[in-house]
Amino acid sequence: MFEGAQIATLLEELEVTHVVTIPDSTLGPWLSEITETQVQVIQVCREGEAWGVAAGLYMGGASPVVMIQCTGLFESGDALRNLLHDYRLPLFAIVGYRSYLSQDTLPGDTCLTFTEPILDAWKLEYRLIAAPEQFAEIAGLYRSCRDEGRSGVALIAEGKA
Amino acid sequence: MTAAQRGAMPLAEVIGVLHTARRDEIVVTTMGCAREWMRLGSHPLDLVYVPSSMGQATSVGLGLALAQPDRRVVVCNGDGSMLMNLGSLVTITSQRPKNLIVLLFDNGVYEVTGAQDTPGSAALRGGRAVDFAQMARTCGFESVFEFSDLEAWASQVHEVLNAEGPVFGCLHAQPVYENATPKSPGPAWERARALREALDRASSP
């Protein structure tokens, strides 16, 4: 839905300093273009770790974004509880919503069953980005979360319709 | 081989040596280390990571080190916590932060829950404990140290704190069996905000 150059430019415009990530087939191709910017890419070994790294970056004065697939969101539970709720760190994430755009051709992916309920369960404000025309909404959500000190998730629909 | 058989050091004294040597480093402590560290007072650049998401202290420390490249960051972690996030050793060495020091306090047990053996302990592995120092070397830590003797630790602590990072120090410590659970020193969100503000002040001209 989006090209790496678009995302890289967006992150620079938002003055994001670091992207903490594990790639998937949608997010991964963006990395080469992001690494060509001033934004530093940190690849972690599992997604729960991404929140810890982002938390340290934020407390150290940086402006990180976590970029993971929804499966990694499922893996992240205790880190979310602790860092976003106990410590109230306003961390922002771009989360790939696996199979959202393939529901007709590839039904049965349980990511479609659990992703949004999990976001609700962890009390994470999110915006579903399911069409190219919604690109500007990512920046809008990021800015409102940053300005108000809230965490938030841009949920990027993945797959091919 | 148990921690005691290996010649492990009293945790409070090991932490005391670090506390005496500490200058203006950020110090992240968790679990039993946090309990002992808090007994020695507080510092604006402390992050007593209690309550924690177990295992995340090394990841938080990495983030701090990358955000504050001109300041040393010391993470005091337990072996049970380390086992929960072994991948962070690989993430750390992929980023190669010269200012990050991971100190692992290895006692072979989950101390704060009643000293049950960890799966890395000698007790659950036919007498052969996981060798964390060797693991750190294999992951690519620039400087690796290991101590079972308090005098050696005390004489080399500055070398450890000033070595080229990423640094890994394995400190064989004796478990504490009573009153082992650390208490949070105050609202976590206030302490996180205070650390960020303290670092902001410290880096302002």
pLDDT tens across A52-79, in order?
999 999 999 999 999 999 999 999 999 9
CA distance B156 to B150: 10
In this complex, which of A40, A55, A78 lies closest to B60 when CB atoms are compared?
Answer: A55
Is the Cβ pair A52, B195 closer than 8 Å?
Answer: no
What residues in chain A have per-residue pLDDT under 70?
161
Task: Report pLDDT for B85.
Answer: 98
Residue of chain A minimizing CA distance to B75: A56
State how far residue B166 is from chain A, nearest Cα, in angstroms. 15
Report the DSSP beta bridge partners of residue B80: none
Cα angle A90, A96, A98; round to 5: 145
**CA B28 distance to own-chain centroid:** 7
Start-to-end CA distance of chain B, whole Å, equals 52
Task: Report pLDDT for A123.
Answer: 97
Of B29, B79, B25, nearest in space to B52 by CA: B29
pLDDT tens for B86-144 read: 999 999 999 999 999 999 999 999 999 999 999 999 999 999 999 999 999 999 999 99
How many C-beta atoms lie closer than 10 Å to residue B200's C-beta?
11
A77 lies within 8 A of chain B by CB: no
Cα angle B89, B95, B97; round to 5: 90
Residue B2: pLDDT above 60? no
In this complex, which of A18, A56, A61 lies closest to B60 when CB atoms are compared?
Answer: A56
**CA B176 distance to own-chain centroid:** 16
Residue B1: pLDDT above 90? no
How many C-beta atoms lie closer than 10 Å to residue A136's C-beta?
10
- Mean pLDDT for chain B overall: 95
Of B1, B8, B6, B5, nearest in space to B105 by CA: B8
Tokens encoding A56: 């340290």
In this complex, which of B52, B59, B200 lies closest to A61 when CB atoms are compared?
Answer: B200
Residue B4: pLDDT above 70? no
Is the Cβ pair B189, A87 closer than 8 Å?
Answer: yes
How would you label B174-198 residue by residue, b for 16+ Cβ within 10 Å and e otherwise?
bbbeeebebeeeeebeebbbbbbeb
Residues in A touching B45 (Cβ below 8 Å): none
Task: Report pLDDT for B3.
Answer: 47
